Structure 1
Amino acid sequence: MKKWTTRGLIFSALFAGVMIALSFLKIYLPISAVPITLQTLAVMLAGAVLGARYGTLAVLIVIGLCAAGFPVMGGSGGVAVLVGPTAGYIFSWPVAAFLIGLCSERMRQDKYTFPKLAAANIVFGALLVYPGGVWWLAHSTGMDSLSKALTAGMWPFLPGDLVKAVLCAGVVTAVRQVYPIERILNSDNAGWAEGDHPTISS
């Protein structure tokens, strides 16, 4: 099993900060208790850029801070958020980041990187999040039909999530050309040319 790296842990913390910042960009819809936010984009980016372990860790940091009462979910925090109407989506995020990360780690950088990343983001970053999210939304708000739950928890958000998936794939494809994922996954001195790395490692 590969060791955890200082670089990877730092990136996890940075992406957790990005996820928190993006949570404040939200739009509430009159038909739903679930706001439109960019947090799902941050989840996709975390998995695609950092890989399975560090991407998942970034999301878990945010959830842990929320559980501790810090206002990291768009200005809200505490256990109440983690059992509220959006809890099903929140607890699906670590799974999404992990699966996107697994796919990203196994992708070679080639001309098909963009469509492969887009597909992984759509399947795991968008579609996978909805079953648990919609089910818990319906359960917590007392909805009595699947159609109402889908209208409140999926259909208004799906087009935006598909756009986020494609946007994430484009950003990550460009990033990987200058900063390969191996530099995060490998040892702290990965990416230094022989003889160029510092004599004291962190």
Structure 2
Amino acid sequence: MNKWSLRGLIFSALFAGVMIALSSMKVDLPFSTVPITLQTLAVMLAGSILGARYGALAVLIVLGLTAAGFPVLAGRGGISVLVGPTAGFIWSWPFAAALIGWFAQRMTQNRYTFTKLLGVNVVFGSLLVYPAGVAWLAHSVPSLDTLYKALAAGMLPFLPGDFLKAALCASVAAGVWKVYPIERIVGSRKASAWSSSDSSAVKGQ
């Protein structure tokens, strides 16, 4: 296992700042306590560009600052945010960043890079956060007493935006990789069946 690097730690801190900046852009919805924000885009970018460890660390830095009372999540801070109605989504973010990063570290760059990144970010950056997020939301808000009400308040309206965020992240990450490959942050690229099959496909073209 590669050691933690100063470069990776610095990038984690920088991406924590990116997440704080993006979280300030929000739109409150009249029918839900869950606002539309760009926080999940920051989570996707952290995992895709920094890899598993440093991407998750960037998110954990923000959560730590939130717990300490700093208003860094959409202008809010304190323990109440981390146990409030949206806590299920928030606590899913480090796992989402780690899983996105895990797969990103095992990808090779070819003509399918965007598609692979898009798929990984849709699955782990969007769909992964909803089971815990919606369940905790329904637990915290008594009026959400049916599955449909919980999904309508915490999931269904956000899916189109999540897909757009995943597409934007995939596009940005694919571009970044061309000038600053992910292995420069995480160390040597880890081998996988996915990477091997991609390499074989490129050689056969």
By the TM > 0.5 criterion, same fold?
yes
Partner of 2:192: none
Partner of 1:41: 41
- Deviation string 1:118-171 (CA, Å, 9 cap, x unpaired) is 000000000001110000000001121000000000011110001000110011
User: Are 1:53 and 2:53 matched, yes or no?
Assistant: yes
Partner of 1:137: 137
Offset at residue 91 of structure 1 (A): 0.2
Higher helix content, 1 or 2 = 2
Equivalent positions of 1:3-152 (< 5 A) are 3-142=3-142, 143-152=144-153
TM-score w.r.t. the length of structure 1 is 0.91
Offset at residue 99 of structure 1 (A): 0.3
Counterpart code for 2:161: G
| Structure 1 gaps, min length 5 | 188-202
Offset at residue 7 of structure 1 (A): 0.4
SS of the equivalent of 1:46 reads helix
Structure 1: distance between partners of 2:83 and 2:141? 11
- Deviation string 1:34-60 (CA, Å, 9 cap, x unpaired) is 000000000000000000000000000
SS of the equivalent of 2:76 reads coil
Partner of 2:201: none
Structure 1: distance between partners of 2:28 and 2:122? 23
- List 4+ stretches of structure 1 deviating above 2 A: none
Structure 2: distance between partners of 1:34 and 1:152? 7
Partner of 2:180: 179
| Structure 2 gaps, min length 5 | 189-205
Count of residue pairs the alignment pairs up: 187
Structure 1: distance between partners of 2:50 and 2:109? 15
TM-score w.r.t. the length of structure 2 is 0.90
Structure 2: distance between partners of 1:117 and 1:93? 17
Structure 1: distance between partners of 2:100 and 2:183? 15
Structure 1: distance between partners of 2:47 and 2:15? 10
SS of the equivalent of 1:92 reads helix
- What RMSD over aligned residues (CA atoms) do the two structures have, in Å? 0.8
